[in-house]
Amino acid sequence: MLINMTNQQMPSGHPLERQPLGLLCLAALGVVYGDIGTSPLYVMKTVFDPIHGLAVTESNVIGIISLIFWTIMIVVSLKYVTLILRADNHGEGGIMALLSLASSSVTDRPRLHNILFLIGAFGAALFFGDGVITPAISVLSAVEGLEVATPLLQPYVLPITVAVLIALFMLQQRGTGGIGALFGPVMVIWFVSLGLIGLINIAGAPQIVAAFNPMYAFAFCISNGWLAFIALGAVVLAVTGGEALYADMGHFGAKPIRLAWYGGVLPALTLNYLGQGALLLSNPSAISNPFFLLFPSWALYGAVALATAATVIASQSVISGVFSVTRQAIQLGFLPRMQIRHTSERKIGQIYIPFVNWTLLSVVLMAVLGFGSSSNLASAYGVAVTTTMVIETTLTFFVLRYAWNYPFLLGILVTAFFLTIDSAFFSATILKVAQGGWFPLVIGSVIFFIMITWSRGRQILVDHLRSVAIPLQSFLESLIAHPPTRVAGTSVFLTANPDGVPHALLHNLAHNQVLHERVVFLTVAYQETPWVPVEQRVSIKPLMENCYQITVRYGFKDEANLPYALELCEPHGLVFEPLRTSYFLSREIVVPSPGAGMSLWRERLFAAMVRNASNAAEYFKLPANRVLELGARVEI
């Protein structure tokens, strides 16, 4: 008999609290649009970088502004805001949610399911590369405004950037709850400033508004040929962060994100790019830093301060996103458990992962000091972004075809249009691999390799444990026939194999020769959905002689808390008293060995990850003084 638990509470960890639409739009400005909102700092300077050989002429400037505008309209407004935001996975968005939506729609095709999972995992791995480049280029490009104010400050640009980044990452362990309320208002000031300063400069060369005509973009591409293709690798920087619209859908909902985009972000970005174009038409030498030269000299220091604040907010959003993706990857079985701390008692989604934080800071500082300028970093920026764009468009096809049951031809037509554009940008950024594009690719590839090694190693380990496991039912029958001494209390044995006898139980019987009066075999199952409703959280299967099999289900964005999950059993007669409940965990000591499975060096890497994985008791919020951990050597 299977007993399904019911409860009217919201799923544990669900972030959506019903708030006024205006507040949600304001919050979305601070979290969703920080990355794309700071792109004007470096896009135009990168497009006309002398290394590309593109002359600052009137036709080129109008053509580039037209290309930027229509790229934003097609990639962000049409693709993300209109299409991909509809790919709602239980209220959640992001590449992991899109991956689970696509893969779960093809479960009857195992090979395709596995391929999609690998593609999605690589896309998630590339996000870590983006998590390095975004803070580095954003903060550095903002501080570089000091050079415009006075060349005397040029030697201090890198030290100031490093200091800002160190302070930002040190702040993570304290949480951002105290300053998070400022994010929205600061970004409102930022976007208003972008629009106003752009509008003022448009008045100096109003012919720039011709860029609204897409024919200027086409003419630019045709007349410049190869140089135009190279320029695409810089133009795509104008839409970096566009995927954040989808990734943050679960926090704000689709409607506030759309309203914030059309009502504030899109007009501000458009006016600012037009303003930079108008400035270049009037003064081509301003290409040295067209963003900060939009401002009068008396406003430069204020502009630098505001830009730095905006880039810190953009970086904060990306760092929080890296933490979130890491936890999702852990719960989907792609990464080992890590220590996860919660920085807010009210908002359970605010987490801090120490290992990821300090590793990320180290690599970000390497990027800043190694590349030395935002122009050099721009060469490294686009590759990971465009690769992720291609992956998300590909996954969208499978959602359209198999999850939403669109006709095959319609699904192909819809996604082929966007895939053609994504592929063009991807091809242009690939040209920059030697100039720095290798950097995020190396980061993403390393993370991807770690993910597939961990996933494969876990599968080998589970298969091995299943092959040697003693069937639980027959073991209990023999145990009851010759019962050991039973003691008061409840023992909970965590096991990945619900049909096999946990090693911890065998060791406990061998050493202590007792059995608790109530025995629970508990299995945690992670689903390919963001959230599992509380009414589906726990299922109970009575066995014999006061023994039970309990399965606790979590989505990849749920917060794992086993003591709380066990409280859901109370309405059905299973009451777990904290001081009378003991948790028994099996900890496998992996011993690499030649033979089937992975290559020996990969098995050694997997064994090292197992040794250094965070403690299961801490991860599942088990009370430390009620946990007994028993180890076993396992050869793979």
Q: What ranges make up the beta strands (E) of 442-513?
A: 485-494
Is there a contact between 279 and 286 (Cβ–Cβ < 8 Å)?
Answer: yes
Position 77, amino acid: S
Are the C-beta atoms of 59 and 219 separated by less than 8 Å? yes
Longest dimension (CA), the chain: 94
Q: Which amino acid is at 324?
A: S
Instruction: Give me the pLDDT at residue 357, please.
Output: 93
Q: Describe the crossing of helices 300-331 and 177-202 by its angle, rounded to 10 degrees.
A: 130
Q: Do the beta carbons of residue 90 and residue 530 sit within 8 Å?
A: yes
Residue 417 has, within 13 A of its CA and on its CB side, a CA count of: 11
Name the CA dihedral angle for 341, 344, 346, 350, rounded to a multiple of 10 degrees: -70
Indicate the SS3 state at residue 321.
helix
| Residues paired with residue 341 on neighbouring β-strands, in sequence order | 352
Q: How do the residues of the chain divide into helix, strand and coil, expressed in percent and rounded to 5?
A: 65, 10, 20
Tokens of residue 541, six digits = 């299967």
* Predicted confidence (pLDDT) per residue in 565-588, tens digit: 999 998 878 899 988 999 998 888
The span from the CA of 301 to the CA of 327, in Å, is 39
Q: Which residue has the tokens 């805001």?
A: 81
Residue with tokens 């600061």: 186
Torsion of CA 419, 425, 431, 436, to 10 degrees: -110
At 583 the pLDDT is: 94
C-alpha–C-alpha distance, residues 551 and 531, integer Å: 16
Using an 8 Å Cβ cutoff, are 619 and 351 in contact? no
Supply the Cα-derived Rg of the chain in whole angstroms.
27
Residues in the chain predicted with pLDDT less than 70, given as ranges, are: 1-19, 89-91, 175-181, 250-251, 344-349
Q: How far apart are CA 163 and CA 167, in angstroms?
A: 6
Q: Cβ contacts of residue 451 below 8 Å, gap of 6+?
A: 121, 124, 125, 329, 334, 335
Residue 15: what are its φ and ψ, rounded to 5°? Answer: -85, -15
Q: Are 393 and 192 in contact (CB under 8 A)?
A: no
On the 0-12 / 13-18 / 19+ scale of CB atoms within 10 A, 158 is middle
* Residue 5: per-residue pLDDT: 35
Which pLDDT does position 6 carry in this prediction?
33
Model pLDDT, residue 14? 45
Instruction: List strands edge to edge, sheet with 547-554.
Output: 3-4, 538-542, 547-554, 514-526, 485-494, 581-591, 627-635
Per-residue confidence (pLDDT) for residue 180, from 0 to 100:
61
State the pairing for strand pair 485-494/351-352.
Answer: unpaired
In contact, 129 and 332? CB cutoff 8 Å: no
Backbone torsions φ then ψ of 218, nearest 5 degrees = -65, -45
User: Which tokens sit at 295?
Assistant: 């401002």
Query: Which pair of structure tokens corresponds to residue 631?
Result: 């180890």
Superfamily the domain 19-455 falls into: Amino acid/polyamine transporter I (1.20.1740.10)
Residues 83/74, Cβ–Cβ less than 8 Å: no
Query: According to the model, what pLDDT value does residue 336 have?
Result: 92
Domain boundaries, the chain: 19-455, 470-635
- With a threshold of 0.85, does the pTM exceed it? no
Residues 461-471 have pLDDT tens digits of: 888 888 888 89
Question: What pLDDT score does 373 carry?
Answer: 85
